[in-house]
Each structure stands twice: as C-alpha cells, then as structure tokens.
Copies of this chain bind each other. A is one copy, B any other.
Amino acid sequence: MENVNCARVEALRTLMQENGWDIVILTGSDPHASEYPAARWKQVEWLSGFTGEAGDIVVTRDHAGLWTDTRYFIQAQRQLEGTGIVLHKMRVPEQVPIPEWIASLEMDEPVIAVDGLCQTVGAIDVLRAAVPSAVIVAVPDLLSVLWPDRPAIPSTPIITLGEDLAGESREARLRWLRKWLIRQGADAILLTALDQIAWLLNVRGQDIDYNPLVISYLLVTLDEAYWFVRKDAYQDPDSETADSFRELRADGITICDYTDIHFNLSSLRDSGVDRICVDASTLNSTVRGALDDGPEVVTVPSPVPLRKAVKNGVEIEGMREAHLEDGLVMEQFLYWVSTHAGMVNEWDAAVYLGSLRAQVAGYRGDSFETISAYGPSAALPHYVTPRCGSALLETRGLYLCDSGGQYLFGTTDITRTVPLGPCTPLEREDYTLALKGHIDLSMAVFPRGTAGCQIDALAREPLWRAKRNYGHGTGHGVGFFLGVHEGPQDIRQNFNSVALEPGMICSDEPGIYREGMHGIRHENLLLCRSVGDNEFGSWLGFEPLTLCHFDTSCLEVSLLTADEREWLNAYNERVYRTLTPRLPAEVAAWLRTKTLPV
C-alpha cells in the first residue's frame, strides 16, 4: 500500500499543475501566527505526517521538503520515512532557509503559491526580497480541496473576565489603545494575534489546546470596535457565549462574523478610516490583501504585547493566588510521588497530577502538556510521555516534572526535579549546579533598562564554570490566564533588547541534560519588581511566585555560597509556612522534613 502522505503530496502536485503553480509553501501556523495552531491548521502534519511543533513545507514539481530545527531532527527523520519528503535542517550553521533555498533553484519567474491565510505579510516580504522574479500567489485554504474531512474553525464557549479578575476594563484598554492610535496619527488598528485580542477584550475561549483563546480578528477605530468571531456557531441564547456577546455589545463592541473581516476591511475607506496600523509579524497575507486600494496602511509593531506583559496589581494578586493553589497541588503530588516510587510510571504520575489540578476551583485546564520524565527520559529535549509503556519511576535517581495550570485568575508553569532514592555523585553535582544558577538569577538585582540577555549568564555561570550548559533559554514571559509563553521580554542568550520592567513575569529554568542518563531542570516563575532607587539608579529584582520546595536531599551543600544557602533555606521555609495550613496533615508533616534548613 502506498504511503498516505506520499499520496497527498502527489495530489498536491496535481493541483499545482492544474493551477500553474511551480512551488507551494505551507507553514505550521494559523491565520493569527499562533505558536500552537488548532487542528484545522495542522496542514504540515496532514500533508507530511510530521507532528513536531515547528515545521514548514515546500513542494516543487520534483522535490518535497520539511524545514524544522534541531529539536525535531530525530522525530522528523522517523516520521518522514516513506513519504518522499526530505528533511531540511534549521538552526544549524549550514542551514538554508526556505527563501534562500528557492532562490538557489534559479527558476525563471517561478509561480509560488502560499496559503495566504497562514503566511504573514512579514514572511512574504522576506520571500519576495530573496526571489525578486517570483510571482507569489496567496490562496486562502489552499489545501481544503484535497482535505475533505478537514476540521472546522473551532468555536468553543467564550467567557469574559470582569475587572475583579483582569484589573482593568476593556473600555480602559480600548481607551489606552485609541490614545496610542492618535499618537501614531492613525485612526484604526487591526489586531490579529489571538492573545492580544483576548487581553484587550477580557475574553477567553478554548479554541486552542492549553491556550484560552478565541479565533478572531479585532478592528479598533477611534469610535468603534468590531470583533470578528464565529458568531454563527453560537446560536443558543442561553449559553455562556451569548451572555458574553451581550456584555461586549453593551460595551459598544460590534460582534461580526469571522469571515466578514475581508468585506469590512475592503469597505473601510467608506467608514472614514484613512490610516490603519497593522503588525506584519502576525497579519496574514490574505487579510492584508483586503486592505489594498483602501486606507493608508502603516506597518508598525503592535503596542499590546509590551503593555500586556506588564501585569497590573489585580493580575499580580491573581498570579500569586494561582501559585498558592498550584503549590498545594504540587506538594501533594510530590508527596504521592515519594510514596509511590517503584509502583507507578511516568504516565500514571502525569494523570495523577492532572487530577489534583482539576480539583482547584477556577481551574481551566493545563497550560501545556505535562512533561513527566524519569531518568534518561528527562534528558530528551522534547519528551512526550507516552500513554502506553512509559518508564517506571524507580526508587533511585531523578524524576523531572514540568507542568502548569490555567486558572481564571492566572497561569502557572513549574518544573521540579526530585530524587526518588539514591543518586550518583554526578546527578548530585548536576542537580546542585543547576539549582545554583536558578538561585543566582532569582537573587539578581539590576538597574532599570537591563534586558534579559544581559543577565542570562547569571543563571548559567555556575554550570559554565564546570563546563556544562543547557541548550534552551533560561526564561520566557508568561501570560495572565493566557499563553504560558509570551513576549516581548525573555531571559536568554539572543540579543533581545526589550528591558525587564516591574510587573513582568518570567520563568527561571536552568537545567542540564545528559543523554541516556538524566535530565534536570529547576523552574520557578519570577515577578520583576522595583527594589528601590538611589543615586546609582533605579533598581529591580525578582519575587518568586512559585510555591513549592526544592528538594535538598540530593544537594551537594558544599557547592553553595552562603548567600545561596540562605536564599534556599528562606525559600523552603516560606513555602512550608504558606502552604501548611491548607495541606493534609501527612503531607504537611512530610513537607516539614523536606524544608529543614541545610
């Protein structure tokens, strides 16, 4: 029997011939440039069988290739077997990105078809610069004719967050955005990124796994706001969503159908809009096309991500609350792990952890797929715990669990690595050095204006001095009941010049991974806050939001400095005192023994 993906590629080639396309490019993203797309837009997976979270495909008349990065080489090689699709490696020194690769074909005026809904304007600009002679055709839903059972655009229930949860009304946020528009000399902005829309309107959905988002566009003018959402899918007048729509309409938001975006944009000039701002990094090409012959288009980064990243007082209190609830869950989970090691496997543990989180009032699902990994499993960079046949949690060595919850009042993301019995000297040393890095970043004080890349080395230097390292960033921004990854700030080696600001939340997660042996990561979420001003400047530091002890039983205490030891003891004591009143007695008693000072 012929390989199904091989057949799909051939069907696409037939379509190409019929339409006169020389090349087709498909991305792994959706019309909103989301990090994680809904099933409908898993076009790369449908065509190739590749399930990694990052991958683009190019098909020519005689070549089909998948472009992905180091994290997915092994997986891609395995999943592409028999498809005839060739792996093109990215994030390696010899990488040839798609635009350069197409240019190297030296075709004379090639016709390149892209799914206009899933290619950003920014990506097409890069392609056009690399292949100036190309004729680029943006076809919306290019694959649909070949994909009869293609999933529909999701339409999960939509809820709203009141000021008691969000700390700021949508009117206030719209007012702020309109002030920004006036400063830009513009009279409208089109928001296309889902997390920006959810934040601005104080709405949440479940259209994407782990991401409480609503598939939609938002057009804001100086007087009006039009939300383009699948309103046809919500017919029940008694539903939560109908209530949400009523609330939004009462606030002056016009609810339009998702597919009407094209019509509305192309008639914008008639509505008196002369100058509209769009963000090329998230605007798709087909929607951009609707603005042709319309108002003047100003391409400018959206102001929402930076403002969204700086949490207000209510959001911060909500995040503290979420981390208190999450801490209670984690300590009960770790107690269970300590009493069940030798009897349960990685999958059992993940399921049990999920069941504990599900009991929290306000829980709205996990914030990402739990990584539950024992021993060598934890050393694999993107380990997915298998439902069947996952590894037993043995009564020795290290178990790593990276998980998080979405709550109505905040988002969590925590990694703990715990010893399940005796550990080797190398495990102990790795565990301690990574924890030193975690603590050093957590203790850091730095002047206002400092960017994450300027303090990333603080988390790495304890490992570096022992000539060890980790291949991922140290910290990512975290949303408020939104994506567990958000910008614009981060803490990593890349030269991102966005300064850390009071109210931003970042993860602090150094680690170390040894193939075939063990993987270690220690992760708290940190709240950036002011720690005072003086003649030398304005000073910032971090407050750990995460509340869950770090295990000291496999620590090489002699490797800690006095400051690090003091920090660790104070943190564990704070965890104990904060959580104990609400923990079951046996867990509280166990936690007391786990948090004694070293």
Contacts and interface: CB of A to CB of B under 8 A. Distances in A.
Interface of A: 440, 443-447, 450, 453-458, 460-461, 464-465, 467-469, 493, 495, 497, 531-532, 534, 536-537, 539, 561-563
Contacts of A469: 447, 536-537
A127 B458 CA distance: 40
Nearest to A496: B495
A445 B458 contact: no
Contact of A532 (B455, B467, B536, B563): B467
- Copy number in the complex reads 2
B457 A445 contact: no
A352 B105 CA distance: 70
Contacts of A444: 461, 464-465
Contacts of A561: 561-563
Nearest to A443: B465
Contacts of A497: 495
Contacts of A465: 443-445
B534 A467 contact: yes
Contact of A495 (B440, B495, B536, B562): B495
B562 A467 contact: no
Contact of A446 (B457, B458, B532): B457
Contacts of A537: 467, 469
Nearest to A513: B536
Contacts of A440: 461
Contacts of A457: 446, 450, 454-455, 457-458
A578 to B, nearest CB: 25
A467 B445 contact: yes
A460 B455 CA distance: 10
A461 B446 CA distance: 7
Contacts of A445: 461, 464-465, 467
A446 B458 CA distance: 11
29 contacts: A440-B461, A444-B461, A444-B464, A445-B461, A445-B464, A445-B465, A445-B467, A446-B457, A446-B460, A446-B461, A446-B464, A447-B469, A450-B457, A453-B453, A453-B454, A453-B495, A454-B456, A458-B458, A467-B531, A467-B534, A467-B537, A467-B539, A468-B536, A469-B536, A469-B537, A495-B495, A495-B497, A561-B561, A561-B562
Nearest to A534: B467
